[in-house]
Structure 1
Amino acid sequence: MTSIEPEAIAQRPIAVPPPPTWPALSPQEKAALKARIRDLLTAQDAVLVAHYYTDGDLQELAEETGGLVADSLEMARFGTTSPARTLVVCGVRFMGETAKILNPEKRVLMPDLAATCSLDEGCPAAEFAAFCDAHPEWCVVVYANTSAEVKARADWVVTSSIALPVVRHLHERGEKILWAPDRHLGRYVQQETGADMLLWQGACVVHEAFKGYALEQLRRLHADAAVLVHPESPAEVIDQADVVGSTTQLIKAVSELPNETFIVATDQGIFWKMHQLAPHKRLIAAPTAGVGATCESCAHCPWMAMNALQNLEQVLVRGDQEVLVAPGIRERALVPIRRMLDFAEERGIGGRPATTT
């Protein structure tokens, strides 16, 4: 088979939707809407699972109703332990698919199934399979931000919180690693572990927008600030970080480090949890602005923004945004996902930040 080099895939443009606009709600309207959603969750034996990048109202409601606010690793774990018969996943499509793969007997709903991810979109299953076929001697490690079909082709699935220990483990075993899809995270993992890695050339449209030169200027204005960076960011941003880590690791840093000010290079949805745990800390969004930009930092995933209280209520009423995964795909994708979860449990990796500072 002809080798498909990852650089060829990188040229595909990703269609980024405009951020959705939701009608403004008065405090009374919002309270009434949340009350209706609570009743629907109870009536349907459903639990709400929200990612740190979703709107703060959704995160708050998840916590108030006994659900979960977490990173993708903890979201994957939660569904397997919750007794609820329905999981409502507020996040992006791969998170809903992972929940269904791990819990085929449960109904999994999302507010909007069109909420995808630029990393997922940039790694089409057929082209990725051809790439794997062209490099059969490599151990295939895929980031969680991929479709069920891509996961089904993998030996391992990893999240950002577990990527380093997994790759370090594989490197110590002498494995050569085919990594997909985020090239920035892959480069960071390769640099930290010394592993022999072949990188697919995908990128997150949110994190790739952070500007190294603008961050350097911002740091001069806030010399006492700690810089927190998600490893999906470009190298010139990662290289300026005091802490590089997953969403959970960055949240813990805000709570645990003595700094009063933090410059944060990840999706601004994370600020809700950071403010909740460390209300006295000052958080500054890392800059994404370039020439002609309309904001200093536009770091918010437009697909995450497709989750809102309004369509959360609608999906609970209609049940029409159900996540389905073909049985054959589910069975194959379950193997690398379960391998990741077993590895995390054996090594004591993961966990959520404390609920108070």
Structure 2
Amino acid sequence: MNRPEVARREAFGTDETLQAGERDLLMHRIRKNLREHDAVLVAHYYTASDIQRLADETGGIVSDSLEMARFGYEHPASTVVVAGVRFMGETAKILSPEKRVIMPTQEATCSLDIGCPADEFAAFCDEHPDRTVVVYANTSAAVKARADWVVTSSIALDVIRHLHAQGEKILWAPDKHLGDYVQRQTGADMLMWDGACIVHEEFKAVELEALRGQLPDAKVLAHPESPAGVLDQADVIGSTTQLLRAVTELDATTFIVATDNGLFHKMREAAPGKQLIEAPTAGRSATCNSCAHCPWMAMNGLRNLDAALRTGADEIHVDPAVAKRAMVSLGRMLDFGREQKKQIAGAGDA
């Protein structure tokens, strides 16, 4: 994606032009409409700070994609408002077909989703019928419907270790960097789809090494969607939730963070005394000056969130037949996660 297109998308949802009075009015009206429409707001860590604050203040959640889906499913509200990107809205609808699911804008998509068209992916799967199909959550409902398993970054290692132990060969999509990391950690036989996140792929290993030289006491935190050269330098590799936990648990005072800078809002709340530095995206091999924020996440703003609640626009619909098939792969992930929690709880009681 070229920079003018990214800039256009960023401008669509940005609240930078809001005056203080308009911001306060919008936030007041959104709180009111959430109550009146029996709606709960679930927001991803990469959305704007105002959106995250609203979710927290109104009884919603700010989290990673797996916890967003679980929360919306378990919450009694009849309407789930998903501030994130389209695959997150689709997942919420698949898990809760009886609920109304709306988004600030359905134009908010994901480079991983776009880069894995359902028809091309189905053909790829058909060429390798002997492999168990595992797809990352950052995919369309139609791609999930073709898969045997869905995983998020927080559970991918455990699921692949489980499948590898059973002797299964894996067909993995769409993020090649996450897939490479999982393969290196587990030793599993994995055939990769060639996809990448436009944010995480821009983090630069050479420039990160130079920055670490300037800040020798800093800890490097990296999301596994980042390239291998970045991950090889990381002190902690994990999902957004795992990186957030690392900021609070490690005794370092300075962190270089290789993930979307939207996570910095929650990191600063959790560890206000820590210094957070974006991992470098600029350098000799750079294609942009700063790519540390998803242009589609930036499309979630107070204005379009307010409009969605008032008008019911941007409601998510998933074909019931597709949703039924996708629920199989999603259900396996959720069941696996629940069983893990039971085992951990049992070990703690022993």
TM-score > 0.5, shorter chain as reference: yes
- Structure 1, unaligned stretches of length 5 or more? 1-11, 350-357
Question: Does structure 2 retain, via aligned residues, the 8 Å contact 1:176–1:197?
Answer: yes
- Percent identity over the alignment is 65
Distance in 2 between residues matched to 1:15 and 1:35, nearest whole Å: 33
- Does the 8 Å contact 1:287/1:296 carry over to 2? no
**Does the CA-based 8 Å contact 1:229-1:265 persist in structure 2?**
yes
After TM superposition, the runs of 4+ consecutive aligned structure 1 residues lying more than 3 A away are 12-17, 291-297
Aligned counterpart in structure 2 of residue 56 of structure 1, from 44, 49, 53: 49
Query: Which position in structure 2 is the counterpart of 1:181?
Result: 174
Give the AA of the match of 1:226. K
User: Measured at CA, do residues 174 and 260 of structure 1 come closer, stay the same or move farther in structure 2, by a change above 3 Å?
Assistant: same
Of 58-67 and 28-37, more deviation after overlay is shown by 28-37
- The separation in 1 between residues aligned to 2:304 and 2:282, in whole angstroms, is 31
Residues 291 and 191 (structure 1), Cα distance of their counterparts in 2 relative to 1, 3 Å cut = closer
Which of 179, 200, 205 is 2:193 aligned to? 200
Residue 17 of structure 1 is matched in structure 2 by 6
Runs of at least 5 residues in structure 2 that lack an aligned partner in the other structure = 343-350
Instruction: Give the alignment of 1:248-327 within 5 angstroms.
Output: 248-291=241-284, 297-327=290-320
Distance apart, 1:320 and its partner CA: 1.2
Higher mean C-alpha displacement, 212-221 vs 292-301: 292-301
Normalised by the length of structure 1, the TM-score is: 0.92
Using the TM superposition, give the Cα deviation of residue 292 of structure 1 relative to its aligned residue in structure 2, in angstroms. 9.5
> SS of the residue aligned with 2:135?
strand
Asked whether the 8 Å contact 2:3–2:288 carries over to 1, the reply is no
Task: Give the structure with the larger helix fraction.
Answer: 2
Verify: 1:153 aligned to 2:146, yes or no.
yes
Equivalent position of 2:348 in the other structure: none
How far is the alpha carbon of 1:198 from its aligned partner?
0.2
CA distance in structure 2 between the aligned counterparts of 1:213 and 1:292, rounded to whole angstroms: 9
Q: Cα deviations across residues 273-322 of structure 1 (Å, max 9, x unaligned)?
A: 00000000000000101349797533100000000111100111111100
- TM-score (normalizing by structure 2): 0.94
Q: Secondary structure at the match of 2:171?
A: strand
RMSD after superposition:
1.8
Alignment partner for residue 59 of structure 2, among 66, 69, 88? 66
Measured in 2, the distance between the counterparts of 1:127 and 1:245 equals 29
- The Cα of 1:122 is off from its aligned counterpart by 0.4
Q: Secondary structure at the match of 1:146?
A: coil
- In structure 2, do the counterparts of structure 1 residues 334 and 13 end up closer, same or farther at CA, with 3 Å as the change threshold? farther
The code of the aligned residue for 1:17 comes to: V
Counterpart code for 1:79: G
Aligned residue for 1:348, secondary structure, equals helix
Name the amino acid aligned to 2:126: D
Structure 2 distance, partners of 1:235, 1:142, is 20
- Alpha-carbon offset, residue 16 of structure 1: 5.4
**AA at the equivalent of 2:268:** H
Contact 1:229 1:237 survives alignment (8 Å) = yes
Per the alignment, residue 91 of structure 1 pairs with 84
The C-alpha deviation readout for 1:214-243, integer Å capped at 9, x for no partner, is: 000110111000000000000100000000
The answer to whether 1:191 aligns with 2:184 is yes
Alignment partner for residue 134 of structure 2, among 128, 141, 145?
A: 141
From the superposition, tell whether residues 215 and 117 of structure 1 become closer, same or farther in structure 2 (CA, over 3 Å).
same
